Amino acid sequence: MTRVRVHNLSISLDGFAAGEPQSLESPMGHASQRLHAWMIATRFGAALMGRESGTTGIDDDFAQQHEHGFGAEIMGANKFGPPGWQDDADWRGWWGDNPPFHTPVYVLTHRPRALIEMDGGTTFHFVDASAVQSLALAKEAAGNLDVRIGGGADVVQQFLAARLVDHMHVVQVPIVLGRGAHLWSGLEGLEDDYDVEVVASPSGVTHLTFEKKTL
Amino acid sequence: MTRVRVHNLSISLDGFAAGEPQSLESPMGHASQRLHAWMIATRFGAALMGRESGTTGIDDDFAQQHEHGFGAEIMGANKFGPPGWQDDADWRGWWGDNPPFHTPVYVLTHRPRALIEMDGGTTFHFVDASAVQSLALAKEAAGNLDVRIGGGADVVQQFLAARLVDHMHVVQVPIVLGRGAHLWSGLEGLEDDYDVEVVASPSGVTHLTFEKKTL
């Protein structure tokens, strides 16, 4: 059965998944690479960045889960491009000709455009849809595989609030960002519906997993 | 040399150290005992509550540090009593005749009153003072011993913002409170001045320690 999963969602101690302001030059705002340095250091991150080597161990073990078993992704407009990308007819995402998704990707936007077929099996679909509606599309596309909610924080928050997420992996980085895109707003009582497990990594980050309780 | 320390400061995943509304009947608001259940379960907590037994292990090891080596405490008005306690001339704190401090305690309030000597060595001093001013008083009283910043979140935040805290122990409980007394506000960049270490406990809570960097 298709499960809905979130992986490698990095947040600060104060719950921000990105800094501000976000721009073409600085996609994560004042957070720069600090939220994702743990991942870039791993073998998983090295492969993404075209480097040859990276760390193995707990951080890499968690990071690799991001890739396994997905048939579709849903992402927010803020993940697909910098503010204003909807005004640029040529914008095709941050990831070059061969994005690391290799599945249909549903981009939530109030200004949809024609789909874009990329190399390597990634197709960007632009949909003006609710969480529930977009999930129906993504599940249809994913077949027996899972659906990844790719972020940003606002989209993950929306799916969590609707209890549509089956599994979430959050990485807490020991920095205080003070401002940016906040994950936890509007999620009071989340623990009633999720089992939470925590593992501290020797790298200094903390891995939290949220597994939806079975009724 | 006197060090300024915070211990057993329990917060939710979204950074709240107490719920709301706080009252005589419900000192922690809608958080009730959920933020401190980990501590109540320990041998340390059992002794505080007058019970005979409690858990040993990592949670108890951390909890016990709350008691060792202190010569004075500073606390905020919100810790000393429920909203409006200043209007009750007979209010002597939550802790009965023999409070668990056994040192001078400086209560920060804009409405100071005469000091109260309790059994067991605790004396409550009521001061209308800044963080720096109250710390001078507490250090004088503590002699060679340490000063504990007892909370609530607003007072710890104020001392952290001024970089007056040498060591802080925070316990992150896997619940999302959504509202209440928030710890992290106004602390952007705290990691520049503190080394952070994280340990996950089998009980499900996470212990974070912040140690001020030496220059």
φ/ψ (deg, to 5) at B14: -95, 15
Question: Does A176 contact B199 at a Cβ distance shorter than 8 Å?
Answer: no
- Please give, rounded to a whole number of angstroms, the shortest distance from the CA of A173 to a CA of chain B: 10
Q: What is the mean pLDDT of residues A18-31?
A: 93
User: B174 and A196 in contact by Cβ < 8 A?
Assistant: yes
Query: pLDDT at position A50, please?
Result: 87
Question: In the predicted model, what is the mean pLDDT of residues A28-37?
Answer: 95
Question: pLDDT at position B50, please?
Answer: 87
What percent of chain B shows pLDDT beyond 90?
96
Provide the percentage of residues in chain A whose pLDDT is more than 70: 100
Residues of chain A neighbouring B196 (CB-CB closer than 8 A): 174, 204
Q: DSSP assignment of chain B, as one string?
A: ---EEEEEEEEETT-EEE-SS--SS-TTGGGTTTTTHHHHTBHHHHHHHT-S--B-SHHHHHHHGGGTTEEEEEEEHHHHSSTTGGG-TT---SS-SS-TT-SEEEEE-SS----EE-GGG-EEEEE---HHHHHHHHHHHHTTSEEEEEE-HHHHHHHHHTT--SEEEEEEES----SSEESSTT-TTGGGTEEEEEEE-TTS-EEEEEEEPP-
**What string of H, E and C letters represents the secondary structure of B63-108?**
HHHHHCCEEEEEEEHHHHCCCCHHHCCCCCCCCCCCCCCCCEEEEE
pLDDT at A52: 86
Radius of gyration of chain B, Cα coordinates, nearest whole angstrom? 16
Question: By C-alpha distance, which of B57, B37, B42, B66 is closest to B173?
Answer: B37
- Cβ–Cβ contact A199 with B under 8 A: yes
Residue B17, pLDDT score: 97
Say what the pLDDT of residue B215 is.
76
pLDDT of B53-77, one tens digit each? 999 999 999 999 999 999 999 999 9
Pairing of strands A146-151, A4-12: parallel
Put simply, whether B115 touches A (Cβ < 8 Å) is no
Whether residue A91 is contained in a domain is answered as: no
CB pairs under 8 A between A and B: 76
CATH code, domain with A27: 3.40.430.10
The rounded mean pLDDT for chain A is 96
Chain A interface includes B191 (CB < 8 A): yes
CA distance B127 to chain A (A): 30
**Is residue A90 domain-resident?**
no
| A68: nearest Cα among A45, A93, A102, A98 | A102
Query: Is A71 among the domain residues?
Result: yes
Q: Does position A215 have pLDDT exceeding 80, yes or no?
A: no
For residue B94, give how far its alpha carbon lies from the nearest alpha carbon of chain A (Å): 28
Grouping H, G, I as helix, E, B as strand and the rest as coil, residue A8 is strand
Interchain CB contact of A190 with B (< 8 Å): yes
pLDDT of residue B52: 86
Measured between CB atoms, does A69 come within 8 Å of chain B?
no
B201 CA to centre of own chain: 20
Which structure tokens are listed for B98? 């023999």
Mean pLDDT of all residues belonging to chain B: 96
Compute the distance between CA of residue B34 and CA of residue A60 in angstroms, rounded to an integer. Answer: 33
- Decide: B35 and B176 in contact? Cβ < 8 Å: no
Whole-model pTM over 0.90:
yes
Provide the pLDDT for residue A65: 96
Give every CB contact of residue B151 below 8 A, 6+ residues apart in sequence: B6, B9, B17, B75, B76, B79
Residues 6+ apart with CB under 8 A from A10: A17, A35, A36, A38, A39, A170, A171, A172, A173, A205
What is the number of domains present in chain A? 1
Rounded Cα–Cα distance for residues B71 and B105 (Å): 9
* A73 belongs to a structural domain: yes
Answer for the pair A124, A80: CB distance below 8 angstroms, yes or no.
yes
Q: Would an 8 Å CB–CB cutoff place A129 in contact with chain B? A: no
Is A19 among the domain residues? yes
Which 8-state DSSP code applies to residue A55?
Answer: B
A89 in a structural domain: no
Structural domain includes residue A187: yes
- A143: helix, strand or coil: coil
Give the range of the structural domain holding residue B110, as residue numbers without chain letter. 4-83+98-212
Per-residue pLDDT tens over the stretch B15-38: 999 999 999 999 999 999 999 999
Residue A152 has pLDDT above 90, yes or no: yes
Q: Contact at 8 Å (CB) between B196 and A174? A: yes
Q: How many CB atoms lie within 10 A of CB B114?
A: 7
Query: For the residues A24-32, what does the mean pLDDT come to?
Result: 92
CA-based nearest distance A190→chain B, Å: 6
Give the residue from chain B lying closest to A188, CA to CA: B178
Banded pLDDT at A60 (limits 50, 70, 90): very high
Mean pLDDT of B156-167: 97
Quick one: average pLDDT of A169-173?
A: 98
Contact at CB, B206 and A198, closer than 8 angstroms: yes
Write down the pLDDT at residue A59: 98
- Does B58 contact chain A (CB < 8 Å)? no
pLDDT at residue B108 in the model: 98
Q: Is A125 helix (H, G, I), strand (E, B) or coil?
A: strand
- Per-residue pLDDT tens digits for B86-113: 999 999 999 999 999 999 999 999 999 9
pLDDT tens digits, one per residue of B107-133:
999 999 999 999 999 999 999 999 999
Decide if B89 is inside a domain: no
